[in-house]
Amino acid sequence: MNPIVKLLAQRIALSLLLLLMISVVIFVGTMILPGDVAQSILGQSATPEALANLRAELGLNDPPVARYFQWLFGALQGDLGTALTSGQDITSAIGSRLSNTLFLAFWAALIAVPLAIFLGLLAVRYKDRWPDKLISAVTLASISIPEFLIGYVLMYLIAVKLRWFPSVAMINDSMNLWQKLNSIALPVAVLTLVVLAHMMRMTRAAILNVMQSAYIETAELKGLSTFNVIWRHAFPNSIAPIVNVVMLNLAYLVVGVVVIEVVFVYPGMGQYLVDHVSKRDVPVVQACGLIFAAVYIGLNMIADIVSILSNPRLRHPK
Amino acid sequence: MNDYLKHLAQEAALGRMGRREFLGRAAALGVTALGANTLLSTAVKAAGAQKGGTIKVGLQGGSTTDSLDPALATNQVAQSVIRLWGEPLVELSDDGGIEGKVAESYEASADAKTWTFKIRSGITFSNGQPVTAADVVATMDRHSGEDTKSGALGIMRSIVSVKADGDSVVIELDNPNADLPFLMTDYHLIIQPGGGKDDPAAAIGTGPYVLKDVDMGVRFVAEKNPNYWGDLGNADTIEYVVINDNTARVAALQAGQVDMIDRVPPRTAKLVARAPNISVHSTAGPGHYVFIMHCDTDPFANNDVRLALKYGIDRQDMVDKILNGFGSVGNDTPINASYPLFTQLEQREYDPDKAKFHMEKSGYDGPILLRTSDNSFPGAPDAAALFQQTCATAGIDLEIKREPNDGYWSEVWNAQPFCTSYWGGRPTQDQMFTTAYLSSADWNDTRFNSAQFDELLIAARGELDTAKRTQMYADMSTMVHNDGGLICPMFNDFVDATSDRIEGWVEGTKGYALMNGYAPHKMWVKA
């Protein structure tokens, strides 16, 4: 068998195994959460009778192992169960939330990734001169400020004072693409600022590392321009670490943007998950956990595969 | 007479009668100048109301886990959404009285045990089905019975039977209760076709609006119900947007994305009010922030310890620092001027000497543990710290334990002997006392156990003489004030804000925030 295919198969199998293990962790973790589902649903206004009735109806007394396998087989068939609190079908509820999250992540990534790589290349080209220092200072500042603060500042300046874009990034099906993009402009800007530094610094460091190599000197001696050397010779050889950090940030854009969702009232997965955690809606928490884990593992797997494919020694085995 | 007065007010509002003439005529009818002025301003506003347009409201408190089933409504957003599409039998009026909704009138038997509600004739649900007495009976049935999950179960327990009688509904109570109409204003008790038994979350009711687009915990869009029986509702479309983050909610109002928000944080309310296009409205309500002690648990079982702590709190300081002035001082009773039969008791002041005296008298000299959390009320940990300082001046050692928000209402409140908490209040004294101070109440969170108090409470329900009843409630407040486990430093105002795109706000509306939840209906988009 082609060693690359074998390697890929191994990677994928490993990822699936990992996902299975994580499903156990998620299930056990949600089982040992403190507090009572029924109490959390009814809140302060719960009477003992109402509590007892709700507990019985939710069937919280089945053995956990049986519930795990029921849940796992359901999830494999795309059935994530129904939410305890609202009785809605989780798969369809998550569907719209997930597509919102992916929509936001997609546009943020579309701007942030090329921008970060370009800025990284630029920083290498003008290493230790003012463009490098400026880029580093600005991106480090933006990653150091808490994201909600950046959100509030942009909201105040751009939404309240200038009124260019809305402060409430609410999107719904009746909007066309242009309206949606207008609506998410501010969260996309904040997310871009937040993920920029990490990717840009990694690009810069990885390329600088390669720039020490002898073949770069050869390229320079051939008379190529500095930017051409970086783009044609250094960048392809430093792609593995860059892809890794890009994937980590993409995962963050999908999984970790709950603060931005709250600040901009964006109906994404994060807010959906937090609402259900606070109500102890275990099936939804499990479903969200599983999806987040799958996104994380999936993106990391892609990073691995890209690193393998970008390595000529693996692509062309002897 | 009432109709005549309203007619006069309308005439005055339309400019057919001078203001002085109106006040004079009203005085002749025995109405005070203040009352007449209020009446006039209401009529002026009604005359100026514009129909049409869209009003957008930013609300706090919604969650993706909410349901449209009124029985399960617990938060502000769920209540507000219910007020769009549904109506109870009767509702609180602006001045704290009762006005008919699904029921057009009601009457009590002489002993206040049997109540008859006459269903408004010719009204229909939003699905076109006529409203019958049977629907009302079925609704009441769905909220009662021990297997219901309804938040109104506590109310329904005192009801023995609900029967249809032609176009009326007859409610029989186990004990006399002069306040039954107030109980029927409960937001869970929305009249639904067939009682909502088939599809409780269908959101079909008799309300002035019909829900068009629902995204739980995110957004609700409602359009005017063309077949609505009354004249409530000015805007064609009302949109509720759930914005739980305080800063984001205020920003949305400032940016013009919403026209109205609730729960403006007191800390920033004055800053918000400075914007030229925004008005902030502060409305006194029955909600109060409390420190609650279990009267049956040591050291609080000793009334001297309770009194020491009551004298050891600086109420005005808390109103200034925790509520930033948007509230009023409490007096260790859950009742304030927002209740219909209120009597002002002598105000208890901060007095470290008395606190010290009672503490020494009690013989207890150990530290006292107070539990608190961020979600028990806004600024609760800060309030606890203030309390700790004023107690220290009196030589009382208060220890503060910060509990997680998670599980506070199940693990700490109503379980631990001393903690911070919040009460939203109720429309009547009877409801408030019955919910939290009757010995047998589920939520007797101060473990207040007084046979005399219980007797008085039951007796007051059947007392139809207002003067006597007022006195009884004053006596009950005094008992709680002197012997209870409640330390009530402050009543919080509802702080709402509106933009100048809409008008028609009525100051001082009784009930809850946003003009008892009806500001979106009653206000209008400026022409």
pLDDT of residue B5: 61
Burial label for B53, CB within 10 Å (0-12, 13-18, 19+), is: middle
Q: Is residue B70 included in any domain, yes or no?
A: no
Q: Chain B 51-110, CB below 8 Å of chain A: which residues?
A: 58, 63-67, 74-75
Strand partners, B106: B117
Yes or no, beta carbons of A167 and B410 under 8 Å apart: no
Q: Are A58 and A107 in contact (CB under 8 A)?
A: no
Mean pLDDT of B72-94: 91
The DSSP code for B4 is H
Q: Is residue B424 included in any domain, yes or no?
A: yes
Element (H, E) at B77: helix B76-85
Nearest CB to A263: which of B219, B245, B257?
B245
Q: Is B441 on the interface with A (CB under 8 A)?
A: no
pTM of the predicted model as reported, rounded to 2 decimal places: 0.83
Q: Is residue B251 included in any domain, yes or no?
A: yes
Residues B149 and B164 in one domain: yes
The residue written with tokens 């007394």 in the block is A61
Q: Chain B 397-416, CB below 8 Å of chain A: which residues?
A: 406-407, 409-411, 413
- What's the length of chain A? 318
Number of A/B CB contacts below 8 angstroms equals: 121
Nearest CB to B63: which of A48, A152, A275?
A275
Yes or no, beta carbons of A279 and B65 under 8 Å apart: yes
Count of beta carbons in the 10 Å neighbourhood of residue B52? 12
pLDDT of residue B21: 62
Residue A192 CB contacts under 8 Å (≥ 6 apart), including other chains: A108, A111, A112, A115
Structure confidence by residue, pLDDT tens digits, B338-367: 888 899 999 999 999 999 999 999 999 889
Yes or no, beta carbons of A262 and B244 under 8 Å apart: yes
Q: Where are the domains of chain A?
A: 94-279
Structure tokens that stand for A27 in this block: 């299930």
CATH number at B170 reads: 3.90.76.10
| CA distance to partner chain A, nearest, from residue B2 (Å) | 38
Q: Is residue B365 included in any domain, yes or no?
A: yes
Structure confidence by residue, pLDDT tens digits, B452-508: 999 999 999 888 888 999 999 999 999 999 999 999 999 999 999 999 999 999 988
Q: Is B247 on the interface with A (CB under 8 A)?
A: yes
Residues B148 and B246 in one domain: no
Task: Give the angle subtended at the CA of A50 by the CAs of A46 and A56, to the nearest 5°.
Answer: 130
- Nearest chain A residue (CA) to B441: A47
Q: Is residue B77 included in any domain, yes or no?
A: no
Chain A residues within an 8 Å CB radius of B154: 47
Count of beta carbons in the 10 Å neighbourhood of residue B227? 12
pLDDT of residue B388: 95
Yes or no, beta carbons of A170 and B218 under 8 Å apart: yes
Chain A residues within an 8 Å CB radius of B252: 167-168, 265
Q: Is B199 on the interface with A (CB under 8 A)?
A: no
Q: How far, CA to CA in Å, does A278 sit from each of A85, A94, A274, B464, B496?
A: 11, 17, 6, 45, 26
Alpha carbons B355 and A72: distance in angstroms, whole number: 61
CATH number at B236 reads: 3.40.190.10
Nearest CB to A265: which of B154, B243, B410?
B243
**Given a cut of 50, is residue B1 above it in pLDDT?**
no
Q: Are B225 and B214 in contact (CB under 8 A)?
A: no
Residues B17 and B139 in one domain: no
Chain A residues within an 8 Å CB radius of B216: 86, 88
Strand partners, B372: B402
Q: What percent of chain B has pLDDT over 70?
A: 91
Residues B304 and B393 in one domain: yes
Structure confidence by residue, pLDDT tens digits, B406-418: 778 878 888 899 9
Alpha carbons B61 and B75: distance in angstroms, whole number: 6
Q: Are B52 and B236 in contact (CB under 8 A)?
A: yes
Structure confidence by residue, pLDDT tens digits, B23-41: 566 656 656 554 555 565 5
Q: Is B243 on the interface with A (CB under 8 A)?
A: yes
Residues B451 and B368 in one domain: yes
Mean pLDDT of B297-317: 94
Nearest CB to B251: which of A40, A41, A155?
A155
Residue B100 CB contacts under 8 Å (≥ 6 apart), including other chains: B89, B90, B106, B120
Residues B239 and B305 in one domain: no
The residue written with tokens 């009818």 in the block is B29
Q: Are A286 and A277 in contact (CB under 8 A)?
A: no
Chain A residues within an 8 Å CB radius of B150: 50
Alpha carbons B524 and B49: distance in angstroms, whole number: 6
Q: Are B444 and B334 in contact (CB under 8 A)?
A: no
Residues B270 and B298 in one domain: no
Yes or no, beta carbons of A265 and B241 under 8 Å apart: yes
Nearest CB to B218: which of A174, A267, A281?
A267
Alpha carbons B283 and B509: distance in angstroms, whole number: 7
Yes or no, beta carbons of A47 and B154 under 8 Å apart: yes
Alpha carbons B183 and B144: distance in angstroms, whole number: 14
Q: Are A148 and A259 in contact (CB under 8 A)?
A: yes
Alpha carbons A241 and A303: distance in angstroms, whole number: 9
pLDDT of residue B35: 57
Closest CA to A199 of A253, A257, A168, A241: A241
Chain A residues within an 8 Å CB radius of B412: none
Yes or no, beta carbons of A262 and B255 under 8 Å apart: no
Is the bond into B299 cis (omega within 30 degrees of 0)?
Answer: yes
Chain A residues within an 8 Å CB radius of B217: 271, 275
CA B390 to chain centre: 31
Yes or no, beta carbons of A86 and B255 under 8 Å apart: no
Yes or no, beta carbons of A279 and B247 under 8 Å apart: no
Structure confidence by residue, pLDDT tens digits, B143-184: 987 778 788 887 888 899 999 999 999 999 988 888 899 989
Nearest CB to A267: which of B215, B254, B407?
B215
End-to-end CA distance of chain B: 34
Yes or no, beta carbons of A43 and B74 under 8 Å apart: yes
Strand bridging mode B260-261 / B54-59: parallel
Residue B407 CB contacts under 8 Å (≥ 6 apart), including other chains: A34, A35, A40
Chain A residues within an 8 Å CB radius of B290: none
Average pLDDT, chain B: 88
Strand bridging mode B327-329 / B486-492: antiparallel
- Tell me which residue range forms the domain holding B505: 54-59+207-281+494-525
Task: Give the angle subtended at the CA of B105 by the CAs of B40 and B175, to the nearest 5°.
Answer: 120
Chain A residues within an 8 Å CB radius of B241: 168, 170, 265
Amino acid B318 reads M
Yes or no, beta carbons of B219 and A262 under 8 Å apart: no
Count of beta carbons in the 10 Å neighbourhood of residue A239? 19
Q: Is residue B422 included in any domain, yes or no?
A: yes
Structure confidence by residue, pLDDT tens digits, A161-192: 999 999 988 888 888 999 999 999 999 999 99
| CA distance to partner chain B, nearest, from residue A121 (Å) | 37
Yes or no, beta carbons of A50 and B151 under 8 Å apart: yes
Q: Is B248 on the interface with A (CB under 8 A)?
A: yes
Residue B408 CB contacts under 8 Å (≥ 6 apart), including other chains: B373, B375, B376
Chain A residues within an 8 Å CB radius of B409: 39, 43-44
Reduced to 3 states (helix: H, G, I; strand: E, B; else coil), residue B434 is helix
| CA distance to partner chain B, nearest, from residue A137 (Å) | 28
Q: What is the dihedral of CA B231, B234, B240, B243, to 10 degrees?
A: -120
Identify the residue with better confidence: B42 or A298: A298
Q: Are A284 and A273 in contact (CB under 8 A)?
A: yes
Yes or no, beta carbons of A156 and B251 under 8 Å apart: yes
Assigned CATH class of A94-279? mainly alpha
Q: Pick from B54, B144, B218 the residue to mutate for testing the A interface (most A CBs within 10 Å).
A: B218
Chain B residues within an 8 Å CB radius of A35: 406-407, 410-411
Q: How far, CA to CA in Å, does A262 sit from each of A43, A268, B245, B248?
A: 22, 9, 7, 8
Alpha carbons A44 and A48: distance in angstroms, whole number: 11
Q: How far, CA to CA in Å, does B185 sit from each of B179, B426, B515?
A: 10, 11, 15
Alpha carbons A78 and A85: distance in angstroms, whole number: 20
Residues B190 and B217 in one domain: no
CATH number at B328 reads: 3.10.105.10
Q: What is the ipTM of this complex?
A: 0.82
pLDDT confidence bin for B84, thresholds 50/70/90 = very high
Chain A residues within an 8 Å CB radius of B153: 47, 49-50
Q: Report H helices in chain A.
A: 3-31, 37-42, 48-58, 64-76, 90-125, 130-144, 147-154, 177-183, 185-211, 214-222, 226-228, 235-237, 239-255, 258-263, 269-278, 282-310, 312-315
Closest CA to A121 of A248, A218, A226: A226
Count of beta carbons in the 10 Å neighbourhood of residue A157? 11
**Given a cut of 60, is residue B44 above it in pLDDT?**
no
| CA distance to partner chain A, nearest, from residue B267 (Å) | 17
Report, as ranges of residue numbers, the positions in chain A whose pLDDT lies below 50. none
**Total domains in the fold of chain B:** 4
| CA distance to partner chain A, nearest, from residue B148 (Å) | 6
| CA distance to partner chain A, nearest, from residue B7 (Å) | 43
Residues B437 and B310 in one domain: yes
Strand bridging mode B54-59 / B237-242: parallel
Instruction: Phi first, then psi: give them for residue B173, nearest 5 degrees.
Output: -105, 155
- Nearest chain B residue (CA) to A173: B213
| CA distance to partner chain A, nearest, from residue B365 (Å) | 33
pLDDT of residue A304: 87
| CA distance to partner chain B, nearest, from residue A188 (Å) | 16
Identify the residue with better confidence: A40 or B290: B290
Structure tokens that stand for A249 in this block: 């940030």
Q: Are B163 and B137 in contact (CB under 8 A)?
A: yes
Yes or no, beta carbons of A35 and B151 under 8 Å apart: no
Yes or no, beta carbons of B410 and A168 under 8 Å apart: no
Yes or no, beta carbons of A262 and B217 under 8 Å apart: no
Q: Are B486 and B290 in contact (CB under 8 A)?
A: yes
Q: Is B148 on the interface with A (CB under 8 A)?
A: yes
